[in-house]
């Protein structure tokens, strides 16, 4: 596994995108103070997950974003990407090249990604932990922090060494298991609480369900009783109905026949002669005979009157005819002529035309009067003859009607004779019907008595049938509609001639069960469903509780295994580090010894205040003590009687910390190691030793060395120079010493 490159965009002073390639075992980064070269180490620390802004020399997330200077405007985000060659598959991802990127925005939010896919910080830490990398620790040693491992507490030093040994992943797993265990215990308490909460309800529902089951058992018993009862009752009702029908059919038919005959006989007896058909016809005939005779008498009288009138009119006609044939008397003529002459003579002396005209009219009227006097007799004769003709016509009409009435009178007389004879025969038949009526009435009373007895039985049967139907309806309500299929369930039933009392016993047994069911008053559907749901819920909680207990046991087992494995690997790692630490220490100091020791310290958590003396007591109870397990460093310098770190000078402490850090790197070499001016305090002789150790380390890890030391620079194959112009942007210059040597030649 190899570090390929680092890409910075907008991170701190790197306002423009800057790429550092790491193609050599040792890469040196140089530059004047304030140029931004230490920002490269901080970029590594930040992209690998560092969360402390203080260690990155900032207060807020936006302090990491290029803020602009001169013509260069400020940026809204900063990102750093580190790229690894993963062809060896040390990273457990299916990529030959792995790019880890971290981006920060002005609002302080961060975003992490692996090969462009957004991930969580936890995913980054776990991925890097698998190859002994992290945001802080042995692989990034900044200026002033080389002495941190010497100044750390024994527990902090132990954590640093665990991380260097790649054992941090166990700590994470243990911590994760502890969180899961705590959550599991919380879940166990919650589940147990839920079970305790629903337990009373389950007990209540169980009692209810037991009652319901008892009721169901009773319903099943009731159903079986119903099946036999209904089957027997239906057969009984049907058979009884058929028997009564057959029993009543003959009397009913005979009664109907007798009733018909009796009605006819009674009609014959009770019928009056005047109500007889023949009596009615006789009455009509006699009435019509009387009417015909009365009408004939009336016509006879009318004919007598007509004959008298005709005789009178004939005499009048004879006399008028005689009077019309007599001559006019002379005296009448002379009288008329005298009147005319008198009129003329009285008007002869008048010249007035109008008077003369009137005179002529008067003469004309005199002549008309004279003629009318003799013409009246002729006209009267015509009138008399005309009246005589009309009277003759009326006489003929009356004579025709009279003849018809005489004919009808004879027919009515004949019919009257016939009807009187039939009526006499009918009266003779009535006397025979009276005997038959007496006999029929006696038989009718006897049949009615028989039918009333049968009807009483039918009424009783109807009541039994109504009871049957009521039982069937109640059975449907109390049991279910399945009882309607009693025929199907009793298909093999063979009727027997058991006493009727047995069926009554069954009915009473059914009534007792019905009363018990009604007293229980249980509607099972909702309660049973609720009981099933609550029981299912309790079973689920029980299963979940069992799973949680298994999880708890499993987590405890995992934690024990992890702690055992951590202890074993830590012990082995300490032995390896001690070996390398002693070698590097001897190399740096020209002899001497150095080692790491696992120690326990008892720390007092609090003192007991003595009220009488007003001071804190030295006696500490067991509860007030806690053990702290960690790593202590023992050193022995050559030619000096120095046994502890406190007695070392500043340079000696620097060399010791470098020896220890290099030893840690040798035991579990990280993919790369960053040394940020860790050689600043070294003199020329120690710088050469430092350079030799760098060359040794470069065989196991890529080294990125930020330095001012020429000796250290000489060990690098690639040199990056960092400068900063007036615009406040860090710029990068690079040179490969191998290429420079070729150019120099």
More confident residue, 519 or 206: 206
Q: Is the pLDDT of residue 369 over 70?
A: yes
Q: Residue ranges of the alpha helices (H) in 143-167?
A: 148-151, 154-164
Per the CB < 8 A criterion, the answer to whether 374 and 333 are in contact is: no
Dihedral of CA atoms 148, 149, 154, 157 in degrees, nearest 10, equals 120
Q: Compute the mean pLDDT over every residue in the chain, rounded to the nearest whole number.
A: 81
Least confident stretch, 343-347, 576-580, 681-685? 343-347
Task: Choose among 85, 141, 101: nearest CA to 11.
Answer: 101
Q: Is the pLDDT of residue 40 over 80?
A: yes
Q: Is the pLDDT of residue 741 over 60?
A: no
State mean pLDDT over 672-685. 81
- The pLDDT confidence band at residue 29, using thresholds 50, 70 and 90, is very high
- The pLDDT confidence band at residue 609, using thresholds 50, 70 and 90, is very low
* CA gap 349, 421 in Å, rounded: 104
pLDDT digits (tens, 9 = 90+) for 227-250: 888 888 888 888 888 888 888 888
Per the CB < 8 A criterion, the answer to whether 332 and 372 are in contact is: no
User: Would you tell me how many other CB atoms lie within 10 Å of the CB of residue 363?
Assistant: 15
Per the CB < 8 A criterion, the answer to whether 59 and 45 are in contact is: no
More confident residue, 117 or 489: 117
* CA gap 681, 676 in Å, rounded: 12
Task: Choose among 49, 67, 45: nearest CA to 110.
Answer: 49
pLDDT digits (tens, 9 = 90+) for 254-305: 888 888 888 877 776 766 544 566 777 778 888 888 888 888 888 888 888 8
- The pLDDT confidence band at residue 524, using thresholds 50, 70 and 90, is low
- The pLDDT confidence band at residue 164, using thresholds 50, 70 and 90, is confident
| pLDDT above 70: percentage of residues in the chain | 87
Dihedral of CA atoms 270, 272, 275, 276 in degrees, nearest 10, equals 90
Q: Which two tokens stand for residue 17?
A: 């995108």
- The pLDDT confidence band at residue 560, using thresholds 50, 70 and 90, is very high
* CA gap 586, 649 in Å, rounded: 17
pLDDT digits (tens, 9 = 90+) for 444-481: 888 888 888 888 888 988 888 888 888 888 888 777 78
State mean pLDDT over 74-85. 92
More confident residue, 313 or 522: 313
State mean pLDDT over 120-140. 75
* CA gap 420, 399 in Å, rounded: 32
What pLDDT shows up at residue 418? 85
Q: Is the pLDDT of residue 610 over 70?
A: no
More confident residue, 459 or 603: 459
What pLDDT shows up at residue 137? 54
Looking at the DSSP bridge assignments, the partners of residue 721 are 30, 733
Least confident stretch, 75-79, 351-355, 469-473? 351-355
What pLDDT shows up at residue 607? 47
State mean pLDDT over 608-629. 53
Q: Is the pLDDT of residue 443 over 60?
A: yes
pLDDT digits (tens, 9 = 90+) for 621-657: 445 566 788 888 888 888 777 667 777 777 788 788 8
More confident residue, 125 or 619: 125
Per the CB < 8 A criterion, the answer to whether 50 and 106 are in contact is: no
Residues 6+ apart with CB under 8 A from 417: none
pLDDT digits (tens, 9 = 90+) for 681-703: 777 878 888 888 888 888 888 88
- The pLDDT confidence band at residue 431, using thresholds 50, 70 and 90, is low
């Amino acid at each position: 596994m190899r570090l390929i490159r680092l890409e910075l965009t907008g991170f701190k002073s790197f306002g423009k995108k800057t790429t550092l390639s790491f193609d050599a075992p040792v890469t040196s980064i140089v530059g004047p103070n304030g140029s931004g070269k230490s920002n490269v180490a901080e970029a590594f620390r930040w992209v690998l997950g560092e969360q402390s802004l203080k260690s990155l020399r900032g207060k807020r997330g936006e302090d990491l974003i290029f803020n602009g200077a001169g013509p260069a405007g400020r940026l809204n985000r900063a990102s750093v990407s580190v790229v690894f060659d993963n062809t060896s598959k040390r990273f457990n991802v299916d990529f030959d090249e792995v790019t880890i990127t971290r981006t920060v925005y002005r609002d302080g939010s961060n975003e992490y990604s692996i090969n462009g896919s957004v991930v969580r910080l936890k995913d980054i830490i776990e991925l890097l932990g698998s190859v002994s990398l992290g945001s802080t620790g042995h692989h990034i040693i900044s200026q002033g922090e080389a002495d941190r491992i010497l100044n750390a507490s024994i527990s902090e030093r132990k954590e640093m060494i665990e991380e260097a040994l790649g054992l941090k992943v166990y700590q994470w797993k243990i911590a994760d298991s502890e969180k899961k265990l705590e959550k599991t215990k919380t879940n166990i308490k919650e589940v147990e609480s839920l079970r305790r909460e629903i337990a009373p309800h389950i007990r209540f529902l169980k009692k209810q369900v037991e009652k319901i089951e008892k009721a169901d058992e009773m319903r099943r018993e009731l159903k079986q009783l119903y099946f036999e009862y209904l089957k027997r009752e239906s057969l009984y009702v049907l058979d009884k109905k058929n028997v009564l029908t057959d029993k009543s059919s003959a009397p009913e038919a005979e009664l109907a026949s007798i009733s018909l005959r009796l009605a006819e006989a009674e009609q014959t007896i009770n019928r009056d002669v005047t109500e007889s058909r023949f009596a009615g016809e006789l009455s009509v005939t006699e009435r019509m005979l009387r009417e015909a005779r009365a009408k004939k008498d009336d016509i006879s009288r009318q004919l007598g009157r007509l004959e008298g009138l005709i005789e009178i009119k004939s005499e009048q006609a004879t006399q008028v005819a005689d009077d019309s044939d007599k001559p006019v008397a002379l005296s009448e003529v002379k009288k008329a002529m005298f009147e005319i002459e008198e009129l003329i003579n009285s008007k002869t002396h008048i010249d007035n035309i109008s008077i003369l005209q009137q005179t002529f009219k008067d003469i004309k009227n005199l002549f008309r009067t004279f003629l009318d006097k003799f013409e009246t007799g002729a006209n009267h004769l015509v009138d008399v003859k005309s009246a005589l003709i009309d009277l003759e016509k009326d006489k003929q009409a009356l004579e025709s009607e009279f003849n018809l009435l005489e004919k009808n009178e004879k027919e009515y007389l004949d019919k009257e004779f016939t009807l009187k004879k039939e009526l006499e025969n009918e009266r003779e038949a009535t006397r025979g019907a009276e005997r038959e009526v007496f006999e029929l009435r006696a038989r009718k009373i006897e049949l009615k008595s028989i039918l009333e007895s049968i009807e009483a039985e039918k009424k009783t049967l109807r009541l039994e049938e109504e009871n049957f139907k009521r039982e069937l309806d109640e059975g449907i309500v109390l049991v279910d509609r399945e009882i309607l299929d009693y025929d199907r369930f009793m298909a093999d039933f063979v009727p027997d001639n058991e006493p009727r009392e047995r069926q009554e016993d069954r009915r009473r047994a059914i009534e007792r069960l019905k009363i018990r069911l009604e007293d229980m008053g249980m509607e099972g559907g909702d309660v049973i469903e609720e009981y099933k749901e609550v029981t299912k819920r309790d079973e689920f909680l029980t299963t979940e509780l069992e799973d949680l207990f298994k999880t708890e046991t499993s987590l405890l087992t995992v934690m024990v295994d992890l702690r055992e494995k951590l202890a074993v690997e830590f012990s082995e790692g300490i032995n390896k580090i001690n070996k390398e630490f002693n070698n590097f220490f001897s190399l740096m100091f020209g002899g001497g010894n150095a080692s790491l020791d696992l120690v326990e310290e008892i720390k007092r958590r609090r003192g007991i205040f003595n009220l009488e003396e007003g001071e804190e007591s030295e006696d500490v109870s067991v509860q007030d003590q806690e053990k702290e397990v960690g790593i202590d460093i023992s050193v022995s310098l050559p030619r000096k009687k120095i046994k502890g770190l406190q007695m070392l000078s500043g340079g000696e402490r620097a060399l010791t910390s470098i020896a220890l850090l290099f030893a840690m790197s040798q035991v579990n070499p990280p993919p790369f190691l960053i040394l940020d001016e860790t050689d600043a305090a070294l003199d020329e002789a120690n710088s050469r030793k430092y350079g030799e150790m760098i060359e040794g380390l470069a065989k196991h890890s890529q080294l990125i060395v930020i330095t001012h030391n020429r000796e250290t620079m000489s060990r690098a194959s690639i040199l990056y120079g960092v400068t900063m112009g007036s615009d406040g942007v860090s710029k990068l210059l690079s040179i490969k010493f191998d290429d420079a040597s070729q150019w120099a030649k």
